[in-house]
Amino acid sequence: MPIVDPRPCIDELRAVLPDSVLVTDEDVTLAYSRDMAMLAPSEQPAAVVHARSTDDVVAVVKAAAKYGVGVHPRGAGSGLAGSSNATAGSIVLSLKGMDQILEVNHQDRYARVQPGVVNLDFRTALAEHGLFYPPDPSSFDWCTLGGNLSTNAGGLCCVKYGVTTDFVMGLEVVLADGEVLRTGRRTVKGVAGYDLARVFVGAEGTLGIITEATLMLRPLPEAPATLVATFNDLYDAGAAVQQIIDAGLVPSLLEIMDQTAIRAVDDLHRMELDRSAKALLIAQSDSGGARAEREMDGIEKAARSCGTTELHRTEDVDEGNMLLFARRQALPALEALKGGSLVDDVAVPRSRMADFLCGCEEIGERTGTVIGTCGHAGDGNMHPTICFTPGDEAEYERAKDAFAQILDLGLSMGGTVTGEHGIGSIKMDFLAKEIGEVGLRVHRQIKNALDPQGILNPGKLFTP
Amino acid sequence: MPIVDPRPCIDELRAVLPDSVLVTDEDVTLAYSRDMAMLAPSEQPAAVVHARSTDDVVAVVKAAAKYGVGVHPRGAGSGLAGSSNATAGSIVLSLKGMDQILEVNHQDRYARVQPGVVNLDFRTALAEHGLFYPPDPSSFDWCTLGGNLSTNAGGLCCVKYGVTTDFVMGLEVVLADGEVLRTGRRTVKGVAGYDLARVFVGAEGTLGIITEATLMLRPLPEAPATLVATFNDLYDAGAAVQQIIDAGLVPSLLEIMDQTAIRAVDDLHRMELDRSAKALLIAQSDSGGARAEREMDGIEKAARSCGTTELHRTEDVDEGNMLLFARRQALPALEALKGGSLVDDVAVPRSRMADFLCGCEEIGERTGTVIGTCGHAGDGNMHPTICFTPGDEAEYERAKDAFAQILDLGLSMGGTVTGEHGIGSIKMDFLAKEIGEVGLRVHRQIKNALDPQGILNPGKLFTP
């Protein structure tokens, strides 16, 4: 996208938006120029708009369309693929202030929300109604639902409940010309026309800006029972996961950490984890009562028959949270090893998980990098994390090389280059590799149809 | 779409397709001109192609694109919205012969199938592997998976398991220019690029022709326990359904029949059903053992607290099948009342189900028609069925009027004009009503982007 002079656009917006909403202060625009993706490029936008309403979003998009200025929608900025990073002279459209839960319908089990609602705040509000919204990315305590929708976020609960798109009933979307589309439904089923809502979910803001969502809810599950098991071999852990799935058990969480991740967490938090273990599995069941006990029995049986070296079970919620804390701390702990980290996000067919983790170890050896992996074992979505020392350029280059090799390894196993973080600007070449020429062409056709000027989140997913 | 002379196109295809594949015999083309939708117009196509492979589909679409001839993909022809009905001078592309199950992957729980596989044959083959594909439209014993995908078919199991789109991991699609798109994944999770697979699912063949699908599977459930309960008031039955859902129970089937449907089945099959009952609920649990018993206890409790007049439970599979037979015979029995029927397909928010059923009764009175309703109570998807005497034009007109009034009633309750049958050619006006001007525009933009000539299944969903 050629850089357009944004000043006439911003001048026009100044006439309709107060100074508190339309901000051009350079400290602010710099602060809003990027998300949490280390690898992603970013440039300084010309303005940040703190949208208060769909009308504000419409005003911004209409002005941007008139002058050909790029618009980057943004939630909390917790993204790990640079999906909300700015281009020079663009407008960052922050939706964080649109943070109202508009309706919670208990009988029909849905909620209508604005995009700026923080995932945790939504969960907390729903719990008071005895209701539950499953998608729980690791950043759930600060990421927003709008970001979750735009990246089709997953989390720890996917093995049982699915990902964001599975809970989307309807959307309000501001299109590239400023028209407002309301699509979807409030019914459980519905097949009237194309599934437009799911075109926008996971499109990373490149097709329209989500200003409201109708989300399907579930009854609040029971307090979870928790099990932790260590293994001397990654393949033993992989076999245990396969046995759990083959037995038809549906844990509400089934996570894995490799030795590097275990040791990193133990270094940081002195949790007396077994540092000699090659893998650690954490499983939960939120089915409650006798059923949870049966599920946990099944998981324990699988772990023992695959040679677990140590196994611990608890029904105590606090103790369970403490055990889960080790998993939740894996990424920060790996980052703390050297001060910097690149978090990858590959999903492979579940049967290939152990092969993939061993492959990542080999890539670490080959590239001379430290790679620790944690991931969602139940669905094969792994987060190999490559550690590097900030300022050490040579090491950083090796880390980037390892990052790319891991993506190729995932593809070679029939996997995908992103299980839940998105393509953003860091995996554009790999999207092309994964979906091929025809796939890319269809992407461009849909993009051109809905955003012919290319003003919505330019520089993401693929080149126009 | 203007009618194009199809002869040069057919002549060109004759050079590459044998006579057994490319058929222009008028008896055959007439037989392939329409599906089961009474209301839908159809015209005689110029040819029927019995595709044997993706290559055949590519050949047909490339020739059709070259000459601007319409192509109507078709499975078994079991559709209820005219989605596969032909236009004059077009080519009907039958995919019924592409009926191979290409792969069943037990470890990663997916199967790759061709579009012509019959739903029941797929279920039977999977059962031998201990696996299960839930979507089960009423025509499951003869409809094909390709048709299920193109209409995003539901069925009786949706209340627990969801609809077709929830099980789609990947697709092979022949695009409007004959290019072959492979999209999606073999992993449980994946967010690389737009969710193209779900653009084609439910698009009723207007965006591309599905030639292969990768479908997610589940472990085979237990043999179901069954419960039947009758009520003296539709609102009592509605309250029981709401109580079941509110209690967090997840029956594998939760169906309703109104009095007209109950009596029609009893007329036809002498099942000694309670003809005085205003509503009959049928529920199943496939959880097995103690859990199924607990679920059935919960459902019984809800039915009793809402004033059921008679309740029967069984764990015997044959007896359960017999009870379910009444529900499965509801549509044929209603059709048998007068010889003809229009089957509607409205989904309303679950909380409005009883209101909707009473509204349908009122429409019957107002229009002087007999309307019986059965439906999927667990997800609010109702099938009001309007009976008429073939040949009685005045009654047929009243039936059509009632059909339309029922759709308006559904929309007025926040519902959708089709829960699972599709728009086809019979609800095009109502799609426009439901999705509005902006929604329609986005539909057209996507259609024009992927099929600029409008050759794929012309005359369906919306006007170009």
| A431 interaction partners in chain B (CB closer than 8 Å) | 192-193
Q: Is residue A418 part of a domain?
A: no
Q: How many angstroms away from the CA of B72 is the closest CA of chain A?
A: 17
Among residues A219, A251, A267, the one where a domain terminates is: A219
The verdict on B91 and B108 lying in the same domain is no
User: Whose structure tokens read 């997913």?
Assistant: A461
Among B105, B187, B416, the residue with its CB nearest the CB of A187 is B416
Cβ–Cβ below 8 Å for B246 and A106: yes
Query: What is the CATH number for A287?
Result: 3.40.462.40
pLDDT for position A142? 97
Q: Is residue A397 part of a domain?
A: yes
Residue of chain A minimizing CA distance to B430: A192
User: Whose structure tokens read 């060109």?
Assistant: B12
Query: If you average pLDDT over residues B225-232, what whole number do you get?
Result: 98
Q: Which of B367, B365, B368, B370 is nearest to B384 (CA)?
A: B370
Among A152, A189, A461, the residue with its CB nearest the CB of B347 is A189
- A193 at interface of B, judged by CB pairs closer than 8 A: yes
pLDDT of residue A429 exceeding 80: yes
Cβ–Cβ below 8 Å for B189 and A106: no
Q: Are B249 and B222 in contact (CB under 8 A)?
A: no
| B195 interaction partners in chain A (CB closer than 8 Å) | 152, 165, 198-199, 201-202
Among residues A219, A251, A272, the one where a domain terminates is: A219
Q: Which amino acid is at B259?
A: Q
Query: What is the CATH number for A62?
Result: 3.30.43.10
Q: What percent of chain A has pLDDT over 90?
A: 96
Can you give the residue range of the structural domain that contains A50?
A: 7-96
Q: CA A308, CA A236: separation in Å to the nearest integer?
A: 8
The verdict on B270 and B393 lying in the same domain is yes
Chain B residues 269-298 with CB within 8 Å of chain A: 290-291
The verdict on B215 and B283 lying in the same domain is no
The verdict on B240 and B382 lying in the same domain is yes
Provide the ipTM.
0.95
- pLDDT tens per residue across span A228-253: 999 999 999 999 999 999 999 999 99
pLDDT for position B2? 57
Q: What is the DSSP letter of A400?
A: H
The verdict on B229 and B164 lying in the same domain is no
Q: Is residue B154 part of a domain?
A: yes
The verdict on B54 and B171 lying in the same domain is no
Among residues B187, B219, B251, the one where a domain terminates is: B219
| Average of per-residue pLDDT values in chain B | 96
- B176 at interface of A, judged by CB pairs closer than 8 A: no
User: Whose structure tokens read 């590459």?
Assistant: B16
* CA-to-CA dists, residue A122 to A27, A118, A185, B108, B300, angstroms: 31, 6, 20, 33, 33
- A18 at interface of B, judged by CB pairs closer than 8 A: no
The verdict on A399 and A445 lying in the same domain is no
Cβ–Cβ below 8 Å for A187 and B380: yes
Cβ–Cβ below 8 Å for B179 and A350: no
Q: Is residue A463 part of a domain?
A: no
The verdict on A295 and A148 lying in the same domain is no
- pLDDT tens per residue across span A358-385: 999 999 999 999 999 999 999 999 999 9
| A185 interaction partners in chain B (CB closer than 8 Å) | 347, 415-416
Among A152, A415, A430, the residue with its CB nearest the CB of B187 is A415
Chain B residues 219-248 with CB within 8 Å of chain A: 219, 242, 245-246, 248
Q: Is residue A1 part of a domain?
A: no
Q: Is residue A2 part of a domain?
A: no
The verdict on A250 and A372 lying in the same domain is yes
Q: Is residue B115 part of a domain?
A: yes
Q: Which is higher by pLDDT, A6 or B291? A: A6
Cβ–Cβ below 8 Å for A347 and B189: yes
Q: Which amino acid is at B82?
A: G
| A105 interaction partners in chain B (CB closer than 8 Å) | 349, 351
pLDDT for position B3? 74
- A166 at interface of B, judged by CB pairs closer than 8 A: yes
Q: Are A273 and A310 in contact (CB under 8 A)?
A: no
- A108 at interface of B, judged by CB pairs closer than 8 A: yes
Residue of chain A minimizing CA distance to B414: A186
The verdict on B262 and B148 lying in the same domain is no
Residue of chain A minimizing CA distance to B220: A248
Q: Are A393 and A270 in contact (CB under 8 A)?
A: no
pLDDT for position A221? 95
Query: DSSP strand E in A131-251: where?
Result: 131-132, 168-174, 180-184, 209-216, 218-219, 225-231
Cβ–Cβ below 8 Å for B187 and A380: yes
pLDDT of residue B1 exceeding 60: no
The verdict on B91 and B160 lying in the same domain is no
pLDDT for position A2? 57
- pLDDT tens per residue across span A24-66: 999 999 999 999 998 899 999 999 999 999 999 999 999 999 9
What is the SS3 string spanning chain B? CCCCCCHHHHHHHHCCCCCCCEECCHHHHHHCCCCCCCCCCCCCCCEEEECCCHHHHHHHHHHHHHHCCCEEEECCCCCCCCCCCCCCCCEEEECCCCCCEEEEECCCCEEEECCCCEHHHHHHHHHHCCEECCCCCCCCCCCEHHHHHHHCCCCCCHHHHCCHHHHEEEEEEECCCCCEEEEECCCCCCCCCCCHHHHHCCCCCCCCEEEEEEEECEECCCCCEEEEEEECCHHHHHHHHHHHHHCCCCCCEEEEEEHHHHHHHHHHHCCCCCCCCCEEEEEEECCCHHHHHHHHHHHHHHHHHCCCCEEEEECCHHHHHHHHHHHHCHHHHHHHHHCEEEECCEECCHHHHHHHHHHHHHHHHHHCCEEEEEEEHHHCEEEEEEEECCCCHHHHHHHHHHHHHHHHHHHHCCCECCCCCCCCCCCHHHHHHHHHHHHHHHHHHHHHHHCCCCCECCCCCCCC
Q: CA A113, CA A137: separation in Å to the nearest integer?
A: 18
How confident is residue B256, by pLDDT bands cut at 50, 70 and 90?
very high
Q: What percent of chain B has pLDDT over 90?
A: 97
Q: CA A92, CA A26: separation in Å to the nearest integer?
A: 13
Count chain A–chain B contacts defined by CB atoms under 8 A. Answer: 244
- A416 at interface of B, judged by CB pairs closer than 8 A: yes
User: How many domains in chain A?
Assistant: 4
Q: Is B267 exposed, middle or buried (0-12, 13-18, 19+ CB in 10 A)?
A: middle
- A207 at interface of B, judged by CB pairs closer than 8 A: yes
